[in-house]
Amino acid sequence: MPVISAPYAFNEGHLFVDLESICGQPLHLKCEGFNFAGSIKLKAANEMVESAERDGLLTPESILVESSSGNLGVALSMIAASKGYQFLCVTDSRCNLSTRLLMEALGSEVHVIADQDSNGGFLGTRIEYVRQLCASDDRYIWLSQYTNAGNWRAHYRTTAPEIAQQFPHLDVVFIGAGTTGTLMGCARWFRQWHRPVRIVAVDSVGSVAFGGEPGRRMIPGLGMSMRPPLLDESIVDEVIRVEEADTIRMCHRMARRGFLFGGSTGTVVSGATEWLARHDARGLSAVAIAPDMGERYLDTVYQTNWLQDLYGDHVLEDGGMDTMTEEVESATRASERRPRS
């Protein structure tokens, strides 16, 4: 049993869920929500803060500031509270209420942006607010998860090796794309591994991270209203875009089997399941990354009124939840009959 004195010192990195009985495809899900920040963002937050400390950027008078849709803000709130820093999170109206309350409970200040940027998102407006803040007072230190190499280095050092240790014959990995820190760190690590691994990025419809037209996105976590500065598309093999309605259905599909995951996980698993269904998945070793758990989404993804107001009364039935369940059960029975390699 580990004994710790700082909350960021514990992070369970070796828990995987076998989703074949739920999705009907050979897919393992790496669960990144079992730490005191509750998400994969603890890794990037810790790396960026420690790097800033090594570079002498932080003093006892410093005020950390970051733009975040939620999870990184919680991770930085926890680290700041533990280390004695002040922290201001600049977020927007899509941030879950429970996430904002959690940051405030940890002693952080939360500023909510209401004005959208030119792409119909909030990111540009959030970043401009942070820039103005830093220009007005040199006590503010912006870690900038969008450009900070520590964002991807954290996953190069931890997330990818953790997957490789558990799955030495990995064939394909599915990674959600937001800032692309997780995506870039894992892609760079696996490009140097002893065997080829297909890197599949999963993005939200309406995100412009990989190009395309901007659109409404209501579930925080994945997607960007600008091209991520960290992104290097040359090390990504394929991009899958997932509709938010499919994200919601997958979240509820997993919840019906006792696994309550967040919206980003629903997006990644939905994209992975669709990809595996289109390919010959027999004998494939496939892993998807779950950034967080579902408790922070109880008033959104798992709240009936919120879903109906935004996506219509039949969001959980459109596409056939019952039909999907039957298809999964049929696929599972077929997979059980397949000879294993």
Can you give the pLDDT at residue 122? 85
pLDDT score recorded for residue 320: 44
Query: What is the per-residue pLDDT for 220?
Result: 86
- CA torsion sign, 80 to 71 to 30 to 192? negative
Distance, in Å, from the CA atom of 30 to the CA atom of 28, rounded to the nearest integer, reads 7
The whole-angstrom separation of Cα 201 and Cα 120 is: 22
Residue 19, classed as helix, strand or coil, is coil
Using the structure block, give the residue that is written with the tokens 């997932």.
242
Dist CA 64 CA 84 (whole Å): 11
Let me know: does 225 contact 179? Beta carbons within 8 Å.
no
Q: DSSP strand E in the chain: where?
A: 16-18, 28-31, 63-67, 86-92, 109-113, 140-142, 172-176, 198-204, 238-242, 286-290
Residue 66 to residue 127: CA distance in whole angstroms: 9
Calculate the dihedral angle through the C-alpha atoms of 232, 233, 238, 240, rounding to the nearest 10 degrees: 80
Query: What is the pLDDT at residue 277?
Result: 97
- The answer to whether 122 and 223 are in contact (CB under 8 A) is no
Residue with tokens 């400390």, as numbered in its chain: 53
Q: What type of residue sits at position 184?
A: M
Q: What are phi and psi of 211, to 5 degrees?
A: 95, -175
Those residues with Cβ within 8 angstroms of residue 333's Cβ, 6 or more apart along the chain or in another chain: none
Instruction: Count the Cβ atoms, other than its own, within 10 Å of residue 339.
Output: 6
Helix (H) or strand (E) holding 331: helix 321-337
The single-letter DSSP state of residue 35 is B
Please identify every stretch of the chain with a pLDDT value under 70, giving residue numbers as ranges: 119, 318-341
Q: Round to whole Å and give the CA distance between 276 and 282.
A: 9
Q: What's the chain's Rg over C-alpha atoms? A: 20
pLDDT tens, residue by residue, 187-235: 999 999 999 999 999 999 999 999 988 999 998 889 998 999 999 999 9
**Cα three-residue angle 246-293-51, rounded to 5 degrees:** 115
| Widest pairwise Cα distance in the chain | 66
Could you tell me which residues come within 8 angstroms of residue 180 by beta carbon, excluding any fewer than 6 positions away? 152, 201, 209, 228, 230, 231
Quick one: pLDDT at residue 94? 83
